[in-house]
Amino acid sequence: MSKLFPKSANKLPLQIVIYLVLLAGIATAGVTYYMTPKYTRVGYAPVQPVPFSHAKHVQEVGLDCRYCHSNVDKSGHSNVPSAQTCMNCHSIIKPNSPLLAPIRESYANGTPVPWIWIHRTPDYAYFNHSVHVNRGVSCVECHGKVNEMDTVTHMQPLSMAFCLECHRNPEARLRQPADVFNLNSQRLADQGPAGVKKATDFVHDWKVKPPQSCSGCHR
């Protein structure tokens, strides 16, 4: 009876183990690298029901963020405007544009426009807009230069590491309160030594102590 397995088969178990270890290593490395928010979220730019261009509305029309996101400085949640807000202008400007049909429909019968949620934090993370924008953190820090975007794109990972980067070192990110909604403004820390001093004073005078423990964001 001939041998069922050749002699080389003796090495097979070892080879299998080595390949498996290698494969597992690669898979682990891949997952750790590519499945982090840095890769899964940044660059996310879904197609919205209405192709709203922030660039046009901010740069050409000159709207402030708070015209539409009117409660961002009052509430934890930055509201997406109701169809009524859009219709303030669009009942006069481009009143018959087919692209605006969902807005007109929503305004007429109250059904919401299903905007796709882009900057989504996990349910167990409670981010609050009002406290950030009232205390020198500009929209641009998390959302990027939305004022220049035709299609809103996820610019930052918005991972816990990203939050902590700033919470551990708020001086580097703060702006003058007046500049918070000016997305082209410079951070205090980027304005030379005088700016750095201003940032340090800001942190001291305003008692900026961003929470670094769990209870700050998780409830």
Partner 1 sequence: MKRKFEHPAPAPSEQLTGPKYWRSLDELAGTPGFKAQLEREFPEGADSIDGVDRRNFMKIMAASFALGGVGLAGCRRPEKYIMPYGKSVEGIIPGLPAYYATAMPLRKVAIPLLAETHQGRPTKVEGNPSYAPNGGAASLLAQASILDLYDPDRATAHTKGGAVLSRAQVDEMLAGISEKHVASQGAGLAFLAEESSSPTRRRLVGILRAKFPRAIWSEYEPVVDEAPVAAAQTAFGAALKPVYDFAKAKRIVSIDADFLQTEAGSLQYARGFSRGRRVTKKDDPMNRLYVAESRLSLTGSMADHRLRLASSHALAFVAKLASAVYPQAADVLIPYTQGLNVPQKWIDECAADLLAHRGAAVVLAGAHLPAEVHAVVYGINAALEAIGQTVRFVPAEATPGVSSLKALANALKAGSVKTLVVLGGNPVYNAPADLEWAGLQKSVAEVVRLGYYVDETSSANSAATTHLAAAHYLESWGDARTADGTIVPIQPMIQPLFGGLTEIEVLARLAGAKETDSYQLVSTTIAAIAGGGAEKTMARFLHDGLLSGSASPEVAVTFNSNAVRDSLGAATQVSVLGLNNLEVRFVTDAKMDDGRFANNGWLQECPDPITKISWDNAILVSPRLAKQLGIVPGGSLIQVARKEEAEFTMGKENAHVFELTVGGRKIRGPVHIQPGLANFTVVVPIGYGRTVVGHVGKGAGFNASSIRTSDAMHVAVGGKLTDTGTRSLLANTQEHWSMEGRDIIREANYEGANSYRENPGFVNTIGMESHTPSNLGAVGEKMTPADRASKLPRGNSLYQTPQFDGLHQWGMSIDLNTCIGCNACVVACQAENNIPIVGRDQVMRGREMHWIRIDRYYSTGDIDAEAFGGAGNNQLPGDSDDPTAPVQVSLQPMTCVHCELAPCETVCPVNATVHDEEGINTMAYNRCIGTRYCANNCPYKVRRFNFFDWNQRSLDSLYLGQLAEYGMPELVKMAKNPEVTVRMRGVMEKCTYCVQRIQKGKIQHKVKMAQAGTPGRVEVPDGTIKAACEQTCPVEAIVFGNLLDKESRVSKAKAREQDYAVLGYLNIRPRTTYSGKIRNPNPKMPDYQPLPMSRVEYDKKNVPPAHDAGHGQADPHGGEKKAEKKATSHGSLDTFMHFGGLS
To the nearest whole angstrom, how small is the minimum distance from the Cβ of residue 1 to partner 1?
29
User: What is the 3 state secondary structure string of 149-181?
Assistant: CCCCCCCCCCCHHHHHHHHCCHHHCCCCHHHCC
Residue 154 in contact with residue 45, Cβ under 8 Å?
A: yes
Residues contacting residue 113 through CB under 8 Å, at least 6 positions apart: 49, 50, 83, 102, 103, 106
> Among residue numbers 58 through 97, which ones bind partner 1 (CB under 8 A)?
71, 73-77, 79-85
To the nearest whole angstrom, how small is the minimum distance from the Cβ of residue 150 to partner 1?
19
Q: Which is nearer to partner 1, 30 or 192 (CB)?
A: 30
To the nearest whole angstrom, how small is the minimum distance from the Cβ of residue 127 to partner 1?
11
> Among residue numbers 4 through 63, which ones bind partner 1 (CB under 8 A)?
35, 40, 46
Q: Which is nearer to partner 1, 113 or 163 (CB)?
A: 113
Q: Which is nearer to partner 1, 9 or 34 (CB)?
A: 34
Q: Which is nearer to partner 1, 5 or 124 (CB)?
A: 124
Residue 135 in contact with residue 178, Cβ under 8 Å?
A: no
Q: Which is nearer to partner 1, 15 or 34 (CB)?
A: 34
Residue 138 in contact with residue 177, Cβ under 8 Å?
A: no
* Cα radius of gyration (the chain): 25
Size of interface with partner 1, in residues (CB under 8 A): 51
Q: What angle do CA 17, 19, 24 make, to 5 degrees?
A: 95
To the nearest whole angstrom, how small is the minimum distance from the Cβ of residue 72 to partner 1?
10
Long-range contacts of 43-46 (CB under 8 A, 24+ apart): 43/153, 43/154, 44/118, 44/153, 44/154, 45/118, 45/151, 45/152, 45/153, 45/154, 46/116, 46/118
Q: Which is nearer to partner 1, 79 or 200 (CB)?
A: 79
> Among residue numbers 158 through 217, which ones bind partner 1 (CB under 8 A)?
177, 205-207, 209, 211-216
Which residues of the chain form contacts with partner 1 (CB under 8 A)?
A: 35, 40, 46, 71, 73-77, 79-85, 106-117, 120, 122-124, 126, 128, 130-131, 134-135, 177, 205-207, 209, 211-216, 218-219
